[in-house]
Chain A
Amino acid sequence: MSKKIIYGMFDDEEILLKSAKDLVSKGIRIKDVFSPFPIHGIDPVIGVPRTRLAIMSFIYGATGLSLAWLMMGYMLIFDWPMDIGGKPSQHFYMNLPAFVPISFEMTVFCAAHGMALTYLIVNRLYPGQQPKNPDTRTTDDKFMVQINVGENKKSAEEIKSMLSSTGATEITEKEA
């Protein structure tokens, strides 16, 4: 199997999107797209599944709420009930109104930070990570598609000619 990678560079995201649609309709599998900003509409074309980050965030939030209730219930109701200002802390439900702000903050805290950490992990982002964009201009004003020749039935030459006919300005080839 060929391990060649072909990169097609575009000057405009709309041309790239059209070209990607064209290539995909002809059975080419596009491995990835690099761009300086999100290209709206590219995800279904190249088959990026919908992320489940939001669901994770909900789970983290629910965890945060549970932790908050466990913490406050244990500390103020179970372990050391205090009578402050003539308002004794005897039952969880009686103190619940006073627990609302911290419950809310803990929910948001866990939902936001849990989600942010998950995002960094699934994207493999951490200090010291080496960037994978093939050309430094893809964070400035260029847009690039990556096609792994081995994943396709067509030859490298055919793929290249399809790219250039759909508007790629620069096409480079690399051995993986």
Chain B
Amino acid sequence: MASHEAQIREPLILGDKDYHQVTEDIIQPIAGKANKWWWMAFTASFITMSWGVGCLAYTVGTGIGVWGLNKTVGWAWDITNFVWWIGIGHAGTLISAILLLFRQKWRMSINRSAEAMTIFAVICAALFPVFHMGRVWLAYWVLPLPNQFGSLWVNFNSPLLWDVFAISTYFTVSLVFWYLGLVPDFATVRDKFARMGKPLQQKIYNILSFGWSGNARAWHRFEELCLVLAGLSTPLVLSVHTIVSMDFATSVIPGWHTTIFPPYFVAGAIFSGFAMVLTLMLIARKTLNLEDYITRNHVESMNKIIILTGSIVGVAYLTELFISWYSGVEYEQYAFLNRASGPYWWAYWSMMTCNVITPQLFWIKKIRRSFVATFIISIFVNIGMWFERFVIIVTSLHRDYLPSSWTMFHPTFIDIGIFIGTIGIFFTLFLLFCRAFPVIAMAELKSILKTSGSKYKK
């Protein structure tokens, strides 16, 4: 009955695993005690997070003037971070939705944690535009509220408002998709605690599991729900970064005013997101003893997506350069000349090296199957993609139409503190997730164990 898979395919689950062993392995970090590595990582993340929260509080208390923005460069560090985090989030949805539609079984070992990453990354991203508003307590003005509330109706022609709708839809839909997928696994954890004789934990996980019983009707609906949500999330995730890119592309700033932005941003988002997934997974598989579930094979598959999206990004960079020359618009030509050889040349060439050259190393099989090399390259890509947004935003603004207002952008202590703080928030949430939630979709993994587990492939 189980669908058969070619013997030549490498197993996705290593070791002598049966259904029970899968449950035991995945629940072990929840039921067991945290090791000292977890505590060290958690303490470091928590301190960083507190630092960031302190910087945010100072920003609110004193005003946006504590940031390095000036009249010429009105958008810089914060929007760079916003786009960077949103982009990172995109990989989770790609893995859970698009790869589900393509029936890629290898996604099952990583989809849960990648979706968690999406949610935490979107939380970090949302902080930046909200705090850039200055008076955060008026953030509800972005909602379409009647004029009597103090503001006029929102402007539906503005890409910034499209962003509000896109990101709130993206966040809530991803959250629901993730949580409803977690429900059956929470039931497994609940029943495990029941067998271990721990009533308190059993109660907590029963509330989290919504009383899931795993009967045939419920599973039937569950599969339908996952398929339709995947079908909805796929265009959604593509729309989100398209709309983010329109924040720039619908303006008339040289360097932003290009029609290539939507596909270029979407590819870049998936590229940076996969790099972050790899960074996290390579750490998680070691610290949570998941080596049998997140294998060399998974890493290689992800690296192949990195090559694809990295190459699309590379082509987009070159296309931009070509079109700016070919357009004959001198402002456009200058914007790109200034990027490559102006005062921010170092940012431009860091971006080029990290995003265009390093991922091409994955064409070599040895490198894309090496954990160490993958980890190093994934860090390079994370850095490179941050610089990409910095280059797009700052270099296009800092030399505007009036040479007397040309200036440089210098991030302040607070700017940097908030960015580092969001990294702290991200890792704090991720580490808590690792301890409290099943990090691998157990139910899904069990359903492919017979076709892709090494025990059954012999």
> Which residues of A are interface residues toward B (Cβ below 8 A)?
13-14, 17, 32-43, 46, 48, 51, 53-54, 57, 71-72, 75-76, 79-80, 82, 84, 87, 89, 95, 98-99, 101-102, 104-106, 108-109, 111-113, 115-116, 119-120, 122-133, 136-141
Shortest CB-to-CB span from A11 to chain B, Å, is 9
**CB distance B225 to A53 under 8 Å?**
yes
**CB distance A125 to B169 under 8 Å?**
no
**CB distance A71 to B144 under 8 Å?**
yes
**Residue B214 contacts which of A53, A106, A126, A138 (CB distance < 8 angstroms)?**
A138
Cα separation A133 to B190 with both chains bound (whole Å): 12
* Chain A hits for B208, CB < 8 A: 127
Cα separation A42 to B1 with both chains bound (whole Å): 11
**CB distance A105 to B220 under 8 Å?**
no
B212 interface residue, CB < 8 Å from A?
yes
**CB distance B219 to A39 under 8 Å?**
yes
* Chain A hits for B147, CB < 8 A: 80
* Chain A hits for B169, CB < 8 A: 105-106, 108-109
**CB distance A42 to B165 under 8 Å?**
no
* B interface secondary structure, majority: helix
Contact A125/B228 with A136-B191, A140-B20 known, Cβ cut-off 8 Å: no
**CB distance A102 to B211 under 8 Å?**
no
Cα separation A127 to B206 with both chains bound (whole Å): 8
Contact A57/B187 with A34-B213, A104-B239 known, Cβ cut-off 8 Å: no
Interface pairs (18), CB distance under 8 Å: A13-B1, A14-B1, A36-B442, A54-B227, A54-B228, A95-B156, A104-B239, A105-B236, A106-B165, A112-B177, A113-B173, A116-B229, A123-B217, A127-B210, A130-B206, A131-B206, A131-B209, A139-B191
* Chain A hits for B157, CB < 8 A: 76, 84, 87, 89, 95, 98
Shortest CB-to-CB span from B94 to chain A, Å, is 16
* Chain A hits for B71, CB < 8 A: none
* Chain A hits for B192, CB < 8 A: 136, 140
- Told that A95-B157, A101-B162, A108-B236 touch, could you supply 14 new A-B pairs with CB distance under 8 A? A33-B215, A36-B19, A40-B1, A53-B224, A76-B157, A101-B165, A102-B156, A112-B229, A115-B229, A116-B229, A123-B218, A133-B213, A139-B187, A139-B188
What are the 10 tightest A-B residue pairs by CB atom distance, in nearest-first order? A129-B211, A141-B19, A136-B191, A125-B210, A38-B219, A101-B162, A141-B20, A132-B213, A75-B153, A105-B165
* Chain B hits for A37, CB < 8 A: 184, 219, 443-444, 446-447
Residue-by-residue, is B228-246 near A (CB-CB < 8 Å gives 1, otherwise 0)?
Answer: 1100110110010001001
**CB distance A80 to B217 under 8 Å?**
no
**CB distance A32 to B217 under 8 Å?**
yes
B172 interface residue, CB < 8 Å from A?
yes
Tier of interface size on chain B: 35 or more
* Chain A hits for B443, CB < 8 A: 36-38
* A interface secondary structure, majority: helix
* Chain B hits for A84, CB < 8 A: 155, 157-158
* Chain B hits for A131, CB < 8 A: 187, 190-191, 206, 209, 211-213
Cα separation A125 to B228 with both chains bound (whole Å): 19
Cα separation A98 to B159 with both chains bound (whole Å): 9
Q: Which residues of B in the span 297-343 have a Cβ within 8 Å of any Cβ on A?
A: none
